Structure 1
Amino acid sequence: MVAALGFGTEPRAPWAVDPATTRGRLYPETSSPTRTPYQRDRDRIIHSTAFRRLKHKTQVFVYHEGDHFRTRLTHTIEVAQIARALARALRLDEDLAEALALAHDLGHTPFGHTGEDALDACLDGFGGFDHNAHSLRIVTSLERRYAEFDGLNLAWETLEGLVKHNGPLTDPHGNPVGRYAERGLPHALVTYPEWRGLDLHTFASAEAQAAAIADDIAYDAHDIDDGLRAGLLALEDFEEVPLVGDFLRDIRRRYPGLDRARTIHELTRRLITAMVEDVIATGIAGLETIGARSAADVRAADRAVVVFSPAMAGVDRAIKEVLFPRLYRHPEVMRVRRDAERVVRDLFGHYVAAPDTMPEEWCAGLADCDSWMLARRVGDYIAGMTDRFAIQEHRRRFAHTPELR
């Protein structure tokens, strides 16, 4: 079974991205004698300020709800592990897949998607906010650590995968598609000077697709885990979910009397394994179907190839049909979300009215700027905050700060 799914020590496949043929970096650098371009990118991401901040950014539960619930950082580590496993089985470049997994959530605001929605509303009329595009802005501009350039100066293939891991953003004529069809491409993307060179009309590499599906797998498994342990979900909620219900019944049959904590872990462990093996088998078949002989063939395909099978996609939908109303829309979670939205809105209004209360490096040059530049600068500042720092700043600026618990 393992050999059939592609595990082993085979060399990188022809459809994998080859670091020896990288399109390079915006600012040329001397090659490393000990690391490939994607190993260097992975290392730069891990050592970035934005990566460290993920430790105190929300996944579903705010940071002080409990030390054992996921944060953006622990989620990112789980995604990287799954992405690397997929890349190894599909004989892709593991370092590129890992780098993309590690970078995929760098652009998230405090308070998870709640913070993103609130900041997007605050920036309505000023280009809005999109966390995927903001990840690009972080690695190309906002990280300021190197003497010779702003950003991390990542390789083209890493930037491409970061922007397009969820699929093409435009059609071949440059018209935005999918979620961007109505609003247009995100402001943070089109302000990157080389954005047109990222081939937004094609799919990304198989490595980027592996990172994207790894994100879905990790989300499903750890949100079930966290929701059950928080008491917002019950094991019985999943009895009718395809595959998950089967796992649950088999666990109860094989281990009668097993305590709830171990039952939860056994359930999520089996789910991750099943999803990973499904993607590997489906990916191998998809690569064969498109006749992939190069990474260019993967990008030129008319669909993503590192995906769930139709049956597993149905399981994924069924899981989300439980998670959305019972976890993400749980009354307690919604109450905290409303309070978190208020924190972001209040901070945005305050800094727009008093930009000099931001740190010097953030308010520099704003004295005579227009409203657009001011709003975007404030948005960048708030997006970089951790949950904890945002709450602390709110307490400094306002008489009452909601208790996000």
Structure 2
Amino acid sequence: MKAWKTMMTGATAVSLAAALAACGSGGGSSPEQSANPADGNKQVEITFANWISVEEGTKEAYNQLIADFEQKHPNIKVKSIGIPFAQFKDQVLVSSAGGNPPDVAMSNQNFTPAFDGAKMAEPLEALLGADMINDIVDGSKAGVTFNGKVMAMPWAPHPSALFWNKTVFKQAGLDPEKPPKTWDEMIEMAKKIAALGKDEKGNPIYGIGENGASESYTGNMLMRIAYSYGGKFVDDKGAIVYDQGTALKDSLAYIKDMIGNKISPKGAMMKDLRPMFANNALGMLVDGDFGRTNFRSMSGKGEAFDKEWGVTTVPAGKSGKSETVFTEHQLVVAAGSKHKQEAAEFVKYLVSKDAMAIYHKLNGVMSSRKSIASLPEMNEDDYAKVFNEQMKTASPLPAANPKFDNAMKTSTDMIVLVTEGGKSPEEAISTVMPKIKELYK
């Protein structure tokens, strides 16, 4: 199985490199504020490595964004390089190291440190201009600043909030209009839901969905839980303090309880949990602001499904407040791009008011720009208000170290040890944390 996975990864890398090479990399540039290249008659093609064009929930938004951009910029053509999220970081790094970087690449708080460490990213102050750089929400700007330079443009922060399934709540004898307000209430409700056992088709019903698969996103979600127990990953100087105090131990004990007692499914990825929630097999799920679009699609009921669920801020834990993280989508202009001005125009468009209006309408996403996040159309309903409220207490991932993504994936070994290896939280921590600290050296 491992050999097959390696072969597939290599094949994907070759495929991506070939696709990028086939696009050509001729010259051409455009004035910073111009919609068209300097040569008004020549069309320039730029490549955009992304994962939203290959995910069902965001395909339509992607298509509309590209169509609107190309209509506004007739001399710039965008060629999509769609890569599944799980393979994204490695494939972009491989293609860039091979001399075929995409002109623009999606990124997030896990990937950008690696792209910066590999010198794949171009500083953006000169390309985007001071007005746009200064318009970035402070927390987001800090997360993309390396050695004093802004290396990625924050696009859409995705704070994680708590979705609850009203249909499942009702089946479990819970008030469908009253989600949990505290962490302990959430656990109690999850156990009542899991006590339902199975639905009429014999499918298991779970109380809450916690990530358990061995991937870096699972590590992000473990950190989110640790925040609720009063912990943090690094101190103000960047030193790892994840294993200090009781927060990580308490978080792993919670995971062990939820998965071990079948209150949450074992080894699940978010792509497994979302359709379970949308099909009434899961009572609660902590997910980002694109949840509404995903659930509408996966339920097969469209907007009618909105009546069957609600969303609220993450219940207060040990810290006494709603603790969560935001996993931000970001945009990188490749240092090796031969079309940096056109690439910059594309980035400017994607974070513009027009583009965010499209993305927000279709997927409910927020904006990382101060001037846009405050617009009435970005706060038009209770759904948007919940996520804007959640942003007030959401923490950016502490991802300054290029090995952060690797550390997050390694941290999932602790979940495997307590849920499948029969180890205690203390044993899991003592086994895995030295490996994470070694990575940071």
TM-score range, shorter chain: under 0.3
Say which structure, 1 or 2, has more relative contact order (CA 8 Å, 6+ apart): 2
TM-score, normalising length: structure 2: 0.23
Higher helix residue share: 1
